[in-house]
Structure 1
Amino acid sequence: MNSPFYSEWRHVFKLDPDRPIDDDRLAAVCSSGTDAILVGGSSGLTFDNTVDLLSRVRRFETPCALELSDPECGVPGFDGYFIPMMLNTDRGEWIARRQAEALRDYGRLLPWEHVAGEAYLVLNPDSTAAKVTGAKADLSAAEIAAYAQVADRLWRAPVVYLEYSGTFGDMATVRSVRGQLTQARLFYGGGIRSAEQARQAALSAHTVVVGNVVYEDLEAALSTVDAVINSAKEQDHVF
């Protein structure tokens, strides 16, 4: 059985089709040595702006995947697709309904060998993602771990994503979740604005996703790549 398309990802830059990024900045990000570009966002996504961003990223060799969270954005041509499923919300539309709508319209076009379910926990109550999805983001470490176990052990979701959306999360909690997973890969995203924060995240999660800082401080964003890769090499050497 082939390994999942994301199995070797340690560092990922996440780009939002609804946020402008000029050609020079995009080139720097795509040529940085990151393992992949992940395209996704919480609002303002359209077919047109998603296609536009994909076409620009395609000028580079870096793998590019899409979070297919909105039925309007089923764009073919990505190297992989994640189907986000919100864990900590009471709104069924974000658990399964919107995903079913997206698959109804685009499922026949997806390369299913490169599609993965992505169990999301949004953990910043002030974030756009939390407000849009109605996420109950103020969770204890024990509650976060319990949700992650539902995804990992009951749903058998291949990816669990802890999303702190603009704030740097509690790395002790992230490490605890990683230690309890039996088969899922742990993605971490949120608040990474320096190489040191990226290093801490890399010691806590399998895959580190860097987003907002790309638009705010390019130099700091680029510094996260080596920080994550070097941290991963250290772990591989130790273990």
Structure 2
Amino acid sequence: MIDYSTWRHVFKLDPDKPLGDGDLEAICESGTDAVIVGGTLGVTYDNTLDLMARVRRFSVPAVLEVSNLSAVVPGFDGYFIPLVLNAGDPDWFLAPHVAGLTEYGAYIHWEEIVAEGYLILNPAASAARLTKARTVTGPAEAAAYAQAAVKLLRLPVFYVEYSGAYGDPEVVRACRAGAEGAHVFYGGGIRTPEQAREMAQIADTVVVGNIIYEDLKAALATVSAVKQQ
């Protein structure tokens, strides 16, 4: 079973976005604790398999965040299964999971599976539009979602997802408080070491994604910023 409890910094790579071999090597050899492969749109079996094979040349742990049943590829160290807590379309909460288990349940190695309570907080994000995510009104409601995930659903991971926008630290702190007893991931809009450092003071694990494809040097600088906390 993959031990995400020790992770402080993670890079998230999108199979649908091009990344040269040299840039991928820099990411995987950066000192980050793990690489998560996942995305919202354009994720296929073929591009996921291709990216996994390239990442597998390095020793960094590689995890697939499953967002598309047709793109589930064997061979990762683990599999994160998101449950979008504020999905406005109820089919995005459990229906895909039931469909997946109906087809593949007999083949699943459950020790490789980690369920995530996902709270999408950027209404402009592709994931928010896809799941018709309900708007979260503020810190109190965000904390309530975190409590529901951890205290009612007993989920081991709570993921604060701003996806492309830098989050409100007050809201993230509320999630941290509500998710007491779970491991808290933060992802969204980190473009500078200062932002990475700020979120690392709140969340257990900071996830850096989009900036990889915009400014690799800035992305790499987030590793030491987080690890120094």
TM-score (norm 2): 0.96
Matched, 1:80 2:78: yes
CA RMSD of aligned residues (A): 1.3
- Mapped to 1, the partners of 2:137 and 2:59 lie a distance apart of 39
Cα contact 2:140–2:174 (8 A) shared by 1: no
Instruction: Please list, as runs of the form range in 1=range in 2, the aligned pairs for 1:204-215 lying within 5 A after superposition.
Output: 204-215=202-213
| Structure 1 gap segments, 5+ residues each | 232-239
Is this contact kept in 2: 1:156–1:183, CA < 8 A?
Answer: no
The one of 101, 104, 123 equivalent to 1:103 is: 101
Could you tell me how far apart the structure 2 residues matched to 1:227 and 1:218 are? Answer: 15
SS of the counterpart of 1:89? coil
Amino acid at match of 2:210: N
Give 1:12-161 correspondences, 5 Å limit.
12-161=10-159
How many residues end up aligned between the 2 structures? 229
8 Å CA contact retained: 1:71, 1:105: no
Deviates more, 1:182-191 or 1:206-215: 182-191
Please give the secondary structure, in 2, of the residue aligned with 1:204.
Answer: coil
Preserved CA contact (<8 Å) 2:13 2:35: yes
Q: By how many angstroms is 1:115 displaced?
A: 0.9
Deviation for aligned residue 1:178: 1.2
Alpha-carbon displacement from aligned partner over 1:93-126 (angstroms, at most 9, x marks no partner): 2100112222333333333112110111111111
Query: How big is the shift at 1:52?
Result: 0.5
For residue 192 of structure 2, the aligned residue among 187, 191, 194 is 194
Q: Is the 8 A contact 1:76 1:110 kept in 2?
A: no
Residue matched to 1:168: 166
Per the TM alignment, residue 138 of structure 1 is displaced from its structure 2 partner at its CA by: 4.3
> In percent, how many aligned pairs have the same letter?
53
Matched-pair contact (CA < 8 Å) for 1:5–1:80: no
Which stretch of the first structure deviates more once superposed, 66-75 or 185-194? Answer: 66-75
1:121 alignment partner, SS class: strand
Determine the C-alpha separation between the residues in 1 that align with 2:27 and 2:107. Answer: 29
1:50 partner letter: T
Provide the rounded CA distance (Å) in 1 between the counterparts of 2:140 and 2:58: 42
How does the TM-score come out when normalised to structure 1? 0.92
- 1:148 deviation in Å? 0.8
Distance 1:100 1:9 in 2: 29
Say if 1:138 and 1:156 are closer, same or farther in 2 by CA, change over 3 A. closer
1:224 match: 222
Task: Give the SS at the match of 1:62.
Answer: coil
3-state SS, counterpart of residue 12 of structure 1: strand
